[in-house]
Amino acid sequence: MEFIFTIVATYSGNSFSICLIIDNLKKIIMKALSKMEVEEFLSDNLKNWSFDGNCLKRDFKFKTFVEAFSFMTAIAIEAEKIDHHPDWSNVYNSVRINLNTHDAKGITKLDFDLADVIDRVFENYK
């Protein structure tokens, strides 16, 4: 549906739309990885994340609510840059993050990239 909206935007002269079409196509075509591929990548590269068969998961704890919220804000800025966004929840000083690629209905490289970004951001809060 979003893809169709993007095509409509192209014909109405939006100069960013060709990039958006390519991005959306990439996400639609992008194949979800198998359970084994995901588990293998996690154990080799993202040791702090787990996989429940649906999402990559990690829980984070902070000293205060403000630190937790600041962490989320920093991630939000990075997520916008790569146009890939976490599913998350915050309760006081804890943040629970779930990652998957909605468009591909599974885990893709984008989720590994975002998990890596999140781990790097977290380094500043340890």
Binding site residues, ligand H2B, CB under 6 A: 2, 23-24, 27, 83-85, 101-103
Q: Which residues make Cβ contacts (< 8 Å) with residue 123, sequence separation at least 6?
A: none
Asked if residue 94 lies in contact with residue 59, where contact means CB atoms within 8 angstroms, the answer is: yes
Closer of 23 and 116 to ligand H2B (Cβ): 23
Distance separating alpha carbons of residues 123 and 39, to the nearest angstrom = 23
Q: Return the number of the residue (28 or 66) whose C-beta is nearest ligand H2B.
A: 28
Instruction: State how far the Cα of 11 lies from the Cα of 30, in Å rounded to an integer.
Output: 25
- The number of C-alpha atoms within 13 Å of 96 and in the hemisphere containing its C-beta is 5
Residue 60, beta-bridge partner list: 95
Closer Cβ to ligand H2B, 6 or 71, answer by number? 6
Q: Which of 52, 39, 33, 51 is nearest to 109 (CA)?
A: 33
Find the shortest distance in angstroms from Cβ 113 to ligand H2B: 11
Residue 61 CB, nearest distance to ligand H2B (Å)? 23
CB of 65 to ligand H2B, least distance (A): 25
Q: How far is the CB of 66 from ligand H2B (least distance, A)?
A: 26
* Closer residue to ligand H2B (CB): 17 or 62: 17
